[in-house]
Amino acid sequence: MSKIYVYLLLGLSIIFSFSCDYIKNKENAFSITFSHSQISHGTYITALIQHSQNSFDSVKFSIDTVSLLFPYSSSNSYQIPTSALTLGKKNITTNIYESGQTYSFSNAITVVSDITPVYPKYTVLNTYNHAIDAYTQGLEFSGDSLYESTGIKGESSLRLVQYKKGSILKKIDVLPEYFGEGLTILHDIVYQITWQAQTGFMYDKASFRQIGTFSYGTEGWGLCNDGTFLIMSDGSEFLYFYNPETFSLVKQIAVYDNAGPVSQLNELEYVQGYIYANVYTTNFIVKIDAATGKVVQRINFSNILDKAYMHDNIDVLNGIAWHKTNNTFFITGKRWPILFEIQIQDSVAESKPLM
């Protein structure tokens, strides 16, 4: 190898090293701070950019699919709106442009709901007997017919219940290796999911004949539908919207109140643009805006079941069904002896601290 070639390589490596060091030093010359690490949806984030030279050409902020380009401002301050963002944890990518160079930075923020949930009162209208062997995981009306999915391996089932008498009109058992979870009914098909097997079952509503299976990529907890999509929870703060024909994931939304994420979302019921969800291990049901994921109500059922009905195998509140004709809700719990018909008094509510 000639000395000239060696010198050439050495020179190029020095230039490359100098260039990298120059860019790195330039990046270090920028200081970026944001006014909030957690911010309410709809408010502005203030970005403050300081630079040793006090000038650059422009800056672009990218969050989700939203990108905003600003020319250099002598105030060093930039207002970033959040109204077009979804809720949840976000990454802000900042690209600063100066003399043909791009300097990139990454920061994390969390967008929470701008709504403080209210705590509405409710009225118990009727009580009915409920099978205490039913480890209730899903509950839904089709007309005046109540369908129930139960859990526990070896005990899981799909049931048609005569709720006024507390009797079971029809029942099929799920294979013992599966732990039954939520159910929903769409176009005369009953969809039932399972907990950790990532497998769901489809049944003819009239006969309970199994007509298919489907799969999903998370645990299965609760299930409902909005007339178009199957909506599933997995115990996290996310709700997943699936195409019922292809079972492909269409979208997901994060569920937040004004304090942060609301997780442990279990049994679900869709009602007129809102999703009602049991919060597992608690006595709360939350009302969620299905379009935004914002929690607008927290309904406390701590004292609904009298202590006289407690027994050794009783478990937590779980099960929500909306009776469209009556415009009432039916709620129960895992191995609860009572099914409650209630009216939620949306107009009588007050804000309270989170519990």
pLDDT, averaged in runs of 10, over the chain (355 residues)? 50 42 53 93 94 84 94 93 95 93 94 97 96 96 97 97 95 97 98 98 97 97 98 98 97 97 98 97 97 97 91 93 96 96 73 39
Contact (CB, 8 A) for 139 and 330: yes
* CATH class name, domain 25-112: mainly beta
Residue 336 is encoded by which pair of tokens?
């609860």
- Block residue for tokens 């098909």: 189
CATH placement of domain 118-351: 2.130.10.10
Question: Which residues have C-beta within 8 Å of that of residue 304, sequence separation ≥ 6?
Answer: 124, 283, 317, 331, 340
Question: Which residues have C-beta within 8 Å of that of residue 187, sequence separation ≥ 6?
Answer: 244
Q: Distance (Å, rounded) from C-alpha 287 to C-alpha 38?
A: 22
The predicted pLDDT at position 275 comes to 98
Residues of the chain with CATH 2.60.40.10: 25-112
Buried b (16+ CB within 10 A) or exposed e, 298-329: bbbbeebbeeeeeeeeeebbbbbbbeeeeebb
Length of the chain: 355
Residues of the chain with CATH 2.130.10.10: 118-351
Q: Distance (Å, rounded) from C-alpha 315 to C-alpha 11?
A: 74
